[in-house]
Structure 1
């Protein structure tokens, strides 16, 4: 495989449409029966196969992010049934009739991206997209995709099915948003009356609701968790920025220990860390680089002049002597996050100095807008 998606066809007309799709939609490896070879397959990178398609489909199912199959829906279901695992693991599968009239989202519509793939494929060949997931049909929030475009991380899928049912059945929904991007309502209509937005967990706990979507970078208190997550889903937006300074040669273990213990003490989730930031002098600091690689955090670097543009409450002459900046962790956190204040101005322990800032909520726009 060289691309994330595979298209498969076994009939003459299916091959015509599959080739058209591969030409118009990027990221596709094309497979079809060798009896329909046209002689240009090697040049175009198309793959030919002999014999039954079932083992081919089952192998491709395990290798690709998504399959676009020009075979009847019933046949595809029967052939793929033995290899189905779980909606959090299975790839996207869409079926397109051999005349290219209909593109149907079959498997992993939300988490696997089949619905989006269906729309893209249909547009590419002029087909009618068929999507049957309830949240898409009703134009409401898909709980398993909520905030995905912003990078939000779901913490626990245990109540996903029941919360999704509450959404599509138009039961009372409490959305608690304490942090994160707010332009999550993408439909061209007002937020429905059965969905209420609250700015804090305690506010929502005074209301009556049937299900909750909780967006926060805080660690919930026991009473909040009991009330909101009994039938709720917790989302971790990427809102925390770590400004980090350290002595040369500081180990990754010491840096990580400082970060995790401080976040825990402040009741903040490590899953909500968006990135770290420091001075350009630390671009080769292995311990810091290792921590960021481990957690998949982007590490941003600033010159002393860039850091000195951020006003500090406690500028340090000693830090300036060695770095040319009056501070490292504090201005790096504010500059990277766009915040006006710190959640933690500065804490020093051993060889590490840490500051924490939160990306402003207002940067995402008005909730539900």
Structure 2
């Protein structure tokens, strides 16, 4: 649990005492070093600040980490105050409400991604309050994909589908996922997750975990997926050999040729006969990137010093996928001077 800022407000003298207790002790629980700021407000007495002023300020804070907003008072007050400022699941701050006697600590917004559930538990330790956790995965002791993503430093794409995955987990239906690096610590963690099935099949999945791009991409498994092929090859590669390599790779992942939307590679291969032939056979467009553009791609890629010396960038296929707007689903596969990576269009 790590927050960069804390904003806390109270509405009575008794609530103010609870607020000060929380504000003094909470940073030890919620800040893991680095930039941290804490502000307290009182919406009564001589130090009176308006509730709207407090809430707007708290929700508009720009920090390098997550923000926590705590209301010491009635839940209804907190709900009415935050309603105009709530935007989206992946951006809203964590909001916790604590009654003035500190009997209960209730997360009311961004329990998983924002960290409100953990913050409520920390406040409970400080004050002796009872944490009132209402998220279904938590009360059933089930895995939550959004919590896992935050804990492992993954951003979330298609957050609207969190509910679909949670519903499957709670109904004890299998959640099928793939990860681009099966040897990673994240893959090991996912293998131990009850209800989650890691697969090599890239189609019909509920989630993709890309260690290269640090993204958890969540899908509606019933929707048809589209794919991008990142291709690299040595000069003069035989067209039939490249096609056979692509067919073999697509077969491993149970991807039909008709699902391929485009092929991406480096611009020095724009006249490479094997790649041109592959695009023609698959009837898909080719997109090209310069070595400089590929080198600027964000992610953790399987770079090679030999490739870097040859074409000016350490990896072509994975970086091409990332720049094409897709999420890396299968990292570099190599054979006889040919490389391929597969991306899913989110």
Q: Give TM-score scaled by structure 1 length.
A: 0.52
Aligned mates of 2:160, 2:89 — CA distance in 1: 14
Offset at 1:153? 3.4
- Residue 146 of structure 2 aligns to a residue whose secondary structure is coil
1:102 aligns with 2:96: no
- 1:320 maps to none
Offset at 1:30? 1.5
Q: How does 1:9-24 map to 2 (within 5 A)?
A: 9-24=10-25
Aligned mates of 1:232, 1:104 — CA distance in 2: 39
Q: How does 1:167-316 map to 2 (within 5 A)?
A: 167-179=169-181, 180=184, 181-184=186-189, 191-192=193-194, 195-201=195-201, 212-216=206-210, 229-230=221-222, 261=265
Aligned mates of 1:16, 1:218 — CA distance in 2: 47
Contact 1:178 1:199 in 2 (8 A): no
- Residue 89 of structure 2 aligns to a residue whose secondary structure is coil
Where in structure 1 are there 5+ consecutive unaligned residues?
37-47, 220-224, 234-259, 266-286, 299-332, 334-341, 360-369
- Residue 145 of structure 1 aligns to a residue whose secondary structure is helix
Contact 2:8 2:19 in 1 (8 A): yes
Offset at 1:156? 3.3
Aligned mates of 1:14, 1:198 — CA distance in 2: 48
Aligned mates of 1:97, 1:7 — CA distance in 2: 13
Aligned mates of 1:147, 1:83 — CA distance in 2: 24
Q: Kindly tell me: are residues 231 and 160 of structure 1, through their superposed partners in 2, closer, same or farther at Cα, counting changes over 3 Å?
A: farther
Q: Kindly tell me: are residues 343 and 354 of structure 1, through their superposed partners in 2, closer, same or farther at Cα, counting changes over 3 Å?
A: closer
Q: Kindly tell me: are residues 165 and 3 of structure 1, through their superposed partners in 2, closer, same or farther at Cα, counting changes over 3 Å?
A: closer
Offset at 1:96? 0.3
- 2:60 maps to 62
Where in structure 2 are there 5+ consecutive unaligned residues?
28-35, 226-263, 270-290, 319-330, 333-346
Aligned mates of 1:152, 1:81 — CA distance in 2: 27
Offset at 1:120? 1.8
The alignment covers a number of residue pairs equal to: 238
Aligned mates of 1:353, 1:81 — CA distance in 2: 48
- 2:306 maps to 346
Aligned mates of 1:3, 1:157 — CA distance in 2: 23
Offset at 1:87? 1.8
Offset at 1:350? 7.3
Contact 1:7 1:29 in 2 (8 A): yes
Q: Kindly tell me: are residues 196 and 73 of structure 1, through their superposed partners in 2, closer, same or farther at Cα, counting changes over 3 Å?
A: closer
Offset at 1:229? 4.2
Contact 1:178 1:200 in 2 (8 A): no
Aligned mates of 1:157, 1:166 — CA distance in 2: 15
Residue of structure 1 aligned with 2:42, choices 32, 42, 52: 32
Offset at 1:159? 3.0
Q: Kindly tell me: are residues 295 and 15 of structure 1, through their superposed partners in 2, closer, same or farther at Cα, counting changes over 3 Å?
A: farther
- 2:48 maps to 49
1:8 aligns with 2:13: no
Aligned mates of 1:118, 1:295 — CA distance in 2: 38
Q: Kindly tell me: are residues 232 and 161 of structure 1, through their superposed partners in 2, closer, same or farther at Cα, counting changes over 3 Å?
A: farther
Q: Kindly tell me: are residues 351 and 173 of structure 1, through their superposed partners in 2, closer, same or farther at Cα, counting changes over 3 Å?
A: closer
Contact 1:159 1:231 in 2 (8 A): no
1:128 aligns with 2:130: yes
Q: Kindly tell me: are residues 182 and 126 of structure 1, through their superposed partners in 2, closer, same or farther at Cα, counting changes over 3 Å?
A: farther
Aligned mates of 1:157, 1:75 — CA distance in 2: 28
Q: Give TM-score scaled by structure 2 length.
A: 0.56
